[in-house]
Structure 1
Amino acid sequence: MGRLAGYRTVVTGAGSGIGRAIVRRYLAEGAHVAAVVRSQDDVAALNAEGALTVLGDVSLYETAESAVATAVEQWGGLDAYVANAGLWDFHKRIEKQSPAQLHAAYREVFGVNLLGALYGARAALGALRQSRGSVIVSGSNACFRAGGGGALYTASKFALRGLVLQLARELAPDVRVNGVAPGATDTGISGPAALGQRGHAMNADPARMAVMADHMLLGRVSAPEEHASLYVLLASREESSYVTGAMLLSDGGLTIST
């Protein structure tokens, strides 16, 4: 029997990278998964792997509401809401952005990285209180230090860490709220359309990935699958029943190396 046998879950940003790795691991551990994606192209593959799919933009409340409703209608409740969807900003410096671009990119980055998690927690709250479940967010080493992205990305991840701490206080004792903070990962995370980065992928540039590897104490960039066990741990009531308000680093030692 898997570690999450029968658990009813939502995972956002499920189309690729860490989100896809979480979906696969949750399914392997016996969980039911409602996978939230923004592209129709991801639906068939996720359905074939055993997940249900929900199309939508996580910066809109109705997407979270639809995902939670899907889980409740299909499986009778919800045990974990994983707010994983994210945007990076490719280290874009503020002097390289016009005021209008800054405003628009701020709305995109914070809309996905912070508001998406806040909407997920709000939409899932009733169901999670009934199951004494948990909210899990995908943070970053940028929750703790500068240099993991540009000003917008870093600010959004510091804010996300603050959200975890505050929601852990507000939703206790019924709902646990935690996060995982991955470091450099071989993933195709993209950026905001306002900065012309929607079609970009972080791992598309080998030179960028090599620089990231040089900064890691473990000497390499991680695979998305290397973080998935922490999401299993935090979802499990048996294995992390006394953990809330935590942001678990999974960054190859980057945070302690500088």
Structure 2
Amino acid sequence: MGRLAGKRAIVTGAGSGIGRASALRFAQEGARVLAIDRSTDAVEETAAMVRAEGGDAIAMAADAGDEASVKAYVARALEAFGGLDVVYANAGISGGDVPLFEQDVSLWTEILRVNLIGPFLAIKHAGRHMVGQGRGAIVCTASVAGLRSNAGGSPYSASKAGVISLVQTAANSMWGSGVRINAVCPGLIETGMTKPVFEYARARGSEDKLGQLNPLRRYGLPHEIAAMAAFLASDDASYVNGQAIAVDGGLTSTLPFAKRLR
């Protein structure tokens, strides 16, 4: 029996990267999974991968930052599974590497819509049901970029800092309800979002330098974030609430340095 046995879960951004790895991990842990992504083909592929491993998954195309879409995917989970125990609000976009003074409002608006309003909508619509039943776990993907500078562009970093604050305030808004909410803050992870960084490093022959600033001296993989998400979604994390947990090889444990102290 897995740690999510009998749980009914939604995973957004499940068409690739951390979302796909999490849909697979949740199913491996025993959850029935509704996989959500804007790309129909990608999310159908994720669901097929889950089923190929003997898991239970349904695919649904939806825009995580659109309220009608969020209402629809929550309703789909309730209809298909007869209830809802876990939501992993993972969907996000990076916005690219646009210099500060060249950023426009439309860039900020779209990043905040997907990265911050998306988790808010998941909390609003799934959380209402969970509060009514007296239990549930919500996990959001934030980022080390929401904790420190130089891990992403300004709008992306601001959106992820907002997710961390949202998790903290939502945990207290649902005071005494039995519903927990936490955030995972990934460091440098090889996903579709970070593909340009990895391709550039490999083209230069400097892949070995990726992640070198953290104590583990390497970058992370999606399944390592999925493992933390599965823990936070499970009853093993029954006393973890309102937290933003970095999964970054130790990157955010340090201050900048010129020479390693021994």
Runs of 4+ in 1 over 2 A off after TM superposition: 89-92, 200-212
Report the equivalent of 1:162.
165
Amino acid at match of 1:31: A
Residue of structure 1 aligned with 2:199, choices 204, 219, 235: 204
Residues 202 and 22 of structure 1: CA distance in aligned 2, closer, same or farther (over 3 Å): farther
- Counterpart contact for 1:54–1:66, Cα < 8 Å: no
Please state how far the C-alpha of 1:204 moved relative to its aligned partner. Answer: 3.5
Report if aligned partners of 2:88, 2:139 keep a CA contact under 8 Å in 1: yes
Matched residues in 2 for 1:202 and 1:116: separation? Answer: 25
AA in 1 matched with 2:191: T
- The alpha-carbon distance between structure 1 residues 33 and 203, as it changes in their structure 2 partners (threshold 3 A), is farther
| Pairing 1:172–2:169 present | no
| 2:90 is aligned with 1:87 | no
Unaligned 5+ residue runs, structure 2?
A: 52-56, 256-262
* 1:214 alignment partner in structure 2: 212
Q: Quick one: which amino acid aligns to residue 59 of structure 1? A: G
User: Partner of 1:104 in structure 2?
Assistant: 106
- Choose from 144, 147, 155 the match for 1:144: 147
Helix, strand or coil at the partner of 1:127: helix
Corresponding residue number in structure 2 for 1:14 = 14
Q: Hey, what does 1:194 align to over in structure 2? A: none
Letter matched to residue 221 of structure 2: A
Could you tell me which residue of structure 2 aligns to residue 229 of structure 1? 227
Q: In 2, Cα distance between the equivalents of 1:90 and 1:202? A: 10
Specify the SS of the correspondent of 1:230. helix
Could you tell me how far 1:211 is from its partner in structure 2?
4.8
Identity between Structure 1 and Structure 2 (%): 37
TM-score by length of 1: 0.89
SS at match of 1:205: helix
Does the 8 A contact of 1:10 with 1:80 survive in 2? yes
Deviation at 1:236, TM superposition (A): 1.2
Which structure: larger Rg? Answer: 2
Residues 44 and 60 of structure 2 are in contact (CA less than 8 Å); yes or no, is this contact kept in structure 1? no
Query: Structure 1 residues 156 and 163, CA, compared in 2 at 3 Å: closer, same or farther?
Result: same
Map of 1:185 onto structure 2: 189
Residue equivalent to 2:42: 42
Q: Structure 1: where are the runs of 5+ without partners?
A: 191-199
Report the CA distance shift for 1:124/1:209 in structure 2 as closer, same or farther (over 3 A): farther
Root-mean-square deviation (CA, aligned residues, Å) is 1.7
Residue-pair matches, total: 244
Aligned to 1:193: none
**Could you tell me which amino acid in structure 2 is paired with residue 11 of structure 1?**
V
Residue deviations 1:55-85, cap 9 Å, x none? Answer: 1111101221111111111111111111101
* TM-score normalised by length of structure 2: 0.88
Cross-structure match for 2:259: none
Following the alignment from structure 1 to structure 2, what is the Cα–Cα distance between the partners of residues 143 and 209? Answer: 25
Query: 1:173 Cα deviation (Å)?
Result: 2.0
